[in-house]
Amino acid sequence: MKRFTKGLVALITAATIGTCGYSTCSGPDLEMKEGYSDLDKSMKQEVSIPFVEKFDVRDNRMKPVSADELHQELSGFMSLRNNKDREKYGILLFLQAGFKESDISRQRVNSDYNNIIVEKKGKSDKTIVIGAHIDRVSQGKGIIDNASGSTLVTNLAQAIRGEDTKYTYRFVLFTLEESGLIGSRNYVKRMTKDDKDRFAYMINADCVGVEHTVIYANISNDGLESTLAKIGEQRGFVFRKENLSPWYGVDSLSFRRAGLPSGSLATTNYEDKIHKPSDTIDKIDKKELAKTYQLMLDLLFVTERSKL
Ligand SMILES: [Zn+2]
């Protein structure tokens, strides 16, 4: 979750002191600030995603990672000192998920930081991107924001790794989200026309596992929203629709800005807990974390049954 500075006074203050506390962060992202208030008005209309209408997630045979294992891997973020350590830990989580070092690519974003990408090839090169930002602000341990989403991404990769899939899946841990969605913007900027032609959708997890699963309805693709709502109903999970404030940013917006179908998940009841020393593991409810994980895994199950 990126909070943008609000108003002129805040901007001047931020320009003076910087916003993120890291040497790579050059202060507030003015370009993003300008681009952000036009959220609903000028962003290109997204294409609809033709998800299959009839499905039963009880048929999903993909083996989920347990709530205990998710929680244990998430706890590992508590001892990490900085974003460099987090990047290394993200790679370790992919290795623990059963991928080889050669499966993991580092997309260089600047001299210090990389997006970490693992691709799971399917029969078709039609591609689904599952993402979360792994960087954090300097206050707190960045467990909710966003070690939580990162842990889901690597464990979704683990669950689908050995499956015979119709589609190709790219699992991406984005860097420098907190400095202005820099990693995800970089990723989208480097996509070729072919990459865009074979792109199906992007789903993002940013701040999950405190309570019920949320989709940001105002910035998420309608097909993603309705399909996830249906999955939630079938699972008997609470699934809420909320609107993302125009002063907040998430990585799926980098895709949406390019006209690419995308959506972002979060949790209820997190906003007063992040970007503070109190963003620690005790705020996570492992059962809720596992529910959001299952919803995303079921989304992949529905995707495999759809003609995208
Ligand atoms: Zn944040």
User: How far away, in angstroms, is 246 Cα from ligand 1 center?
Assistant: 14
- Output the pLDDT for position 164: 97
Helices (H) and strands (E) in the chain, counts: 10, 10
Q: Which amino acid is at 106?
A: R
User: How far away, in angstroms, is 145 Cα from ligand 1 center?
Assistant: 5
Q: Could you tell me how far CA 135 lies from the centroid of its own chain?
A: 12
User: How far away, in angstroms, is 20 Cα from ligand 1 center?
Assistant: 10
User: How far away, in angstroms, is 92 Cα from ligand 1 center?
Assistant: 22
Contact 56, 234 (CB under 8 A): yes
- Output the pLDDT for position 245: 87
Ion ligand 1: residues, CB within 5 A, are: 1, 145
User: How far away, in angstroms, is 107 Cα from ligand 1 center?
Assistant: 21
pLDDT digits (tens, 9 = 90+) for 263-291: 999 999 999 999 999 999 999 999 999 99
Q: Output the CATH code of domain 2-305.
A: 3.40.630.10
Exposed, middle or buried, 58 (CB in 10 Å: 0-12/13-18/19+)? exposed
User: How far away, in angstroms, is 164 Cα from ligand 1 center?
Assistant: 35
User: How far away, in angstroms, is 22 Cα from ligand 1 center?
Assistant: 14
User: How far away, in angstroms, is 11 Cα from ligand 1 center?
Assistant: 18
User: How far away, in angstroms, is 146 Cα from ligand 1 center?
Assistant: 7
- 283: tokens are 């705020």
User: How far away, in angstroms, is 63 Cα from ligand 1 center?
Assistant: 30
User: How far away, in angstroms, is 35 Cα from ligand 1 center?
Assistant: 19
- Output the pLDDT for position 26: 37
User: How far away, in angstroms, is 244 Cα from ligand 1 center?
Assistant: 13
Whole-angstrom Cα Rg for the chain? 18
- Output the pLDDT for position 40: 55
Distance between CA 201 and CA 255 in Å, rounded? 9
User: How far away, in angstroms, is 206 Cα from ligand 1 center?
Assistant: 8
Per-block average pLDDT, block size 10, for the chain (308 residues)? 64 38 37 49 74 97 98 98 98 98 98 98 98 96 98 98 98 97 97 97 98 95 97 98 90 94 97 95 98 98 97
User: How far away, in angstroms, is 216 Cα from ligand 1 center?
Assistant: 16
Residue with tokens 């045979």: 61
Exposed, middle or buried, 80 (CB in 10 Å: 0-12/13-18/19+)? middle
Contact 204, 263 (CB under 8 A): yes
Instruction: Domain ranges for the chain, please list them.
Output: 2-305
- Output the pLDDT for position 32: 46
User: How far away, in angstroms, is 142 Cα from ligand 1 center?
Assistant: 8
User: How far away, in angstroms, is 229 Cα from ligand 1 center?
Assistant: 25
CA angle 24, 94, 56 (to 5 degrees): 115
- Output the pLDDT for position 1: 87
- Output the pLDDT for position 39: 59
- Output the pLDDT for position 181: 95
- Output the pLDDT for position 45: 67
User: How far away, in angstroms, is 180 Cα from ligand 1 center?
Assistant: 10
Any bridge partners for residue 262, and if so which? Answer: 202
Contact 201, 49 (CB under 8 A): yes
User: How far away, in angstroms, is 219 Cα from ligand 1 center?
Assistant: 17
Contact 246, 294 (CB under 8 A): no
User: How far away, in angstroms, is 192 Cα from ligand 1 center?
Assistant: 29
Exposed, middle or buried, 15 (CB in 10 Å: 0-12/13-18/19+)? middle
Q: What are phi and psi of 274, to 5 degrees?
A: -100, 165
Contact 144, 279 (CB under 8 A): yes
pLDDT digits (tens, 9 = 90+) for 160-209: 999 999 999 999 999 999 999 999 999 999 999 999 999 999 999 999 99
